[in-house]
Structure 1
Amino acid sequence: MKHAETVTFGGSALDRAAEIRGDAAALAAAQADPQARAVLIWRGKPLLDEETGALIRLPLDHPVLAQGDDDLMLLGREGGAAIFACNLSAWEPVDLDGGTLGHFVDASVQRHPDLPGGMGFAELRMNMTRLTPRDAELAATAKAILGWHDSHGFCSRCGSKSEIINAGWQRACRDCGAQHFPRTDPVVIMLITHGNSVLVGRSPGWPEGMYSLLAGFVEPGETLEAAVRREVLEEAGIPVGQVSYLASQPWPFPASLMFGCRGEALARDITLDPVELEDARWVSREEMATAFAGDHPVLLPARKGAIAQFLLRNWLADTLD
């Protein structure tokens, strides 16, 4: 695809410094460097500049880091200095309203009393289009790796508590010797076309009028192409012929890798799976252009920053390979 790596979270050529993850002396030196910085995550929310949306980087001796987890996760290097992720999720805001946390739309911002004004922990989905490519890669990596540690604290082989090693990129069980690595779930998301139309659907609970491309998890022993055909047939009853790969997007909600694919429908009749989809429909190129312009009476396009919106936008502009 002509613009494959310009998708949000698409990467910024971050030096991930993998060669020092298992080197205790090198890690200690990296943390002792006064130029080293940390990004803070609170329950999946990165610390951002509220005005600009920029990802905040704090020096490692900032007092608020002492309230975070003991283990810092090495994300990589910027300008030769290490940058880490710090989990501050144990902090409990005094005025916390948990009603919106984790919802599809979470506009709440949590502000720590020991941080300067104008900084807040904000939901990544709500701010992903404001981030630079480097900020986006760091935020996505930090959110995903810390989320993995939060949900994988015990050995899946024997049940014993495991411990963090390799600067956060591995967990080890001292009881049975098992080694555990961060999980990434492969997902196919499909631009399915038939003539001048594209197939879109909406899941129950989405904002009214919002439609997106169909998507689903890749199953064990399955190719991307097979997953595309299976998911579209299961959810919409549409058989798909030729399938090609377009672009990918890390999607840290919590830790997926979206494989954007294009497929050619062999029929147009939709048979909806009501468990998976509330609605599915064919939308012409002209109708989708109207939706992107904000003038469609019903249809809202996929949210900005998501690979679905990226693929649809390039389909409209005829910039797909």
Structure 2
Amino acid sequence: MKHAETVTFGGSHLDRAAELRGDPAALEDMLAATNTRVLPIWRGKPLVAGDRRDQGGWLPASHPIFAEADEAPIFLGRSEMQTGLFARDISCWEPADLVDMQGAFFDPTEQWHPSVPEDHRFSELRGVMTRLSARDAELIASAKAILGWHESHGFCAYCGAKTMLAMAGWQRDCEACGRHHFPRTDPVVIMLITHGNAVLMGRSPGWPDGMYSCLAGFVEPGETIEAAVRREVFEEAGIRVGHVEYLASQPWPFPASLMIGCHGHAETSEITVDPSEIEDAKWVTREEMLETFAGNDPAMKPARKGAIAHFLLLNWLKDTLD
């Protein structure tokens, strides 16, 4: 797709300046600079600013909120003005009015730290992602993913010893056995499967009522993208897929996936749902999907704005997949 990178989190040509990750002196100087900005992340939620929560809540490195941090900042890159951009986890902070949202499909609650302005709140990224600029979206997605990796990889997978943050946050080192550990990204295929004038839609157990999306699944070791598309669609819906073509990709930091959007051409149409995989699947015509996107179908809601499924379906409806 010619406009593939316009998908949310699709990229803003950020200078990640990877050559500085192993230069502690340069990073120390950057953190001391008055124009450097750091994004606080609290339990996976970025700090966002503005009445519409449409800006990253970037703060000076010396801001008192970072007294809540227990690890060093993560270096994200440089702006066009050579401003250093970092992220820092402050999950040790305990808000006074915390609501337990564990297990919820989506967390609509916001948290406010008394050291920041009233319009700065920690918010669920999926609720604000479509309002962010392309640069803030890329930076915040990167920060959320990398800090999530640190949270779940604090110990060496080889010897079990505690690991230490290294390379400005893009590595963890084990002093016990000397091994290095690097951030992981899980490849996931998400498929726009068409048959004539219809697209295949499915839903997983536990999704909100009426929520359907494109089928998706993890790529297995030793498997090509095309093979993963065919396998996942057959496993979940019993549909045989022939030709497969790549369309677009999307970093998806929930927690650390790369969504690989593909167009698959179905060779069969009879659906056989595997209930251990999905709850339901159905063919939806272009006309029916237009009604869904217009909000006129009480039985099916459109895919979430900002997700690659919405992007693929919208471009299918507009006939702009090429």
Q: CA deviation at 1:2?
A: 2.3
Whole-angstrom CA distance in 2 between matches of 1:167 and 1:115: 25
Question: 1:149 maps to which residue?
Answer: 150
Determine if contact 2:202/2:280 at 8 Å carries over to the other structure.
Answer: yes
What is the SS of the residue equivalent to 2:220?
coil
**Aligned positions, number:** 320
With normalisation by structure 2, the TM-score equals 0.98
Structure 1 unmatched runs, 5+: none
1:284 paired to 2:285: yes
Deviates more, 1:21-30 or 1:234-243: 21-30
1:266 alignment counterpart:
267
Q: Matches of 2:226 and 2:45 in 1, distance apart?
A: 34
- Write the letter of the residue equivalent to 1:41: I
Structure 2 letter corresponding to 1:88: I
Per-residue deviation at 1:34? 0.9
**1:109 match: secondary structure:** coil
Contact 1:185–1:257 under 8 Å retained in 2: yes
Alignment partners' CA distance in 2, 1:70 and 1:236: 45
Q: 1:88-167 counterparts in 2 under 5 A?
A: 88-98=90-100, 100-101=101-102, 103-167=104-168
For the Cα contact (< 8 Å) 2:68–2:91, is it kept in 1? Answer: no
- Take 2:281 and 2:264, find their aligned partners in 1: how far apart are those partners? 16
Give the letter aligned to residue 12 of structure 2: S
Tell me the residue number matched to 2:13.
13
Q: Distance in 2 between matches of 1:142 and 1:82?
A: 14
Shift, 1:102, TM fit: 5.7
Q: Distance in 2 between matches of 1:126 and 1:52?
A: 11
User: Contact conserved, 1:72 with 1:84, CA < 8 A, in 2?
Assistant: yes
- Cα separation, partners in 2 of 1:77 and 1:101, compared to 1, 3 Å: farther
Distance 1:208 1:73 in 2: 38
- Matched to 1:51, the amino acid is D
Deviation of the 1:50 alpha carbon: 4.7
Paired with 2:103 and 2:123, the residues of 1 have a C-alpha distance of 11
Task: For 1:312, give the aligned amino acid.
Answer: L
Pair 1:300–1:317, CA change in 2 (3 A): same
Give how far 1:297 is off.
Answer: 2.7
Match runs of 1:43-62 below 5 Å = 43-53=43-53, 54-62=55-63
Number of the residue aligned with 1:242: 243
Give structure 2 stretches of 5+ with no counterpart. Answer: none
Q: Distance in 2 between matches of 1:111 and 1:101?
A: 19
Q: C-alpha distance in 2, partners of 1:236/1:3?
A: 30
**Partner of residue 311, structure 2:** 310
SS in 2 for 1:244: strand
* Identity of matched residues, %: 64
- Report the CA distance between 1:43 and its aligned residue: 0.3
- Once the 2 structures are TM-superposed, how far is the Cα of residue 103 of structure 1 from its aligned partner? 2.4
Q: Which string of whole-angstrom CA distances, capped at 9 and with x for unpartnered residues, describes residues 123-156 of structure 1?
A: 0011111111011001100000000000000000
**Hey, what's the Cα distance between the residues in 2 that align with 1:35 and 1:105?**
35
Amino acid at match of 2:159: C
Q: CA RMSD in A?
A: 0.9
The alignment partner of 1:187 has SS state of strand
Cα distance, 1:276 vs. partner?
Answer: 1.6
| Cα distance per residue 1:202-254 (max 9 Å; x no partner) | 01111111110000000000000000000000000001000000000000000
8 Å contact from structure 1 (residues 68, 86) kept in 2: yes
Measured against aligned partners, the alpha-carbon deviations of 1:174-229 in whole angstroms (never above 9, x if no partner) come to: 11111100010000000000000000000111111111000000000000000000
Aligned to 1:196: 197
1:81 Cα deviation after fit: 1.2
8 Å Cα contact 1:69/1:86 also seen in 2 = no
What's the CA shift for 1:52? 2.8
Q: Distance in 2 between matches of 1:30 and 1:264?
A: 51
Report if aligned partners of 2:193, 2:266 keep a CA contact under 8 Å in 1: yes
Assess if the C-alpha contact under 8 Å between 2:248 and 2:262 holds in 1: yes
| SS, match of residue 110 in structure 1 | coil
The question of 1:80 aligning with 2:90 is answered no
* Residue correspondence of structure 1 range 170-209 to structure 2 within 5 A: 170-209=171-210
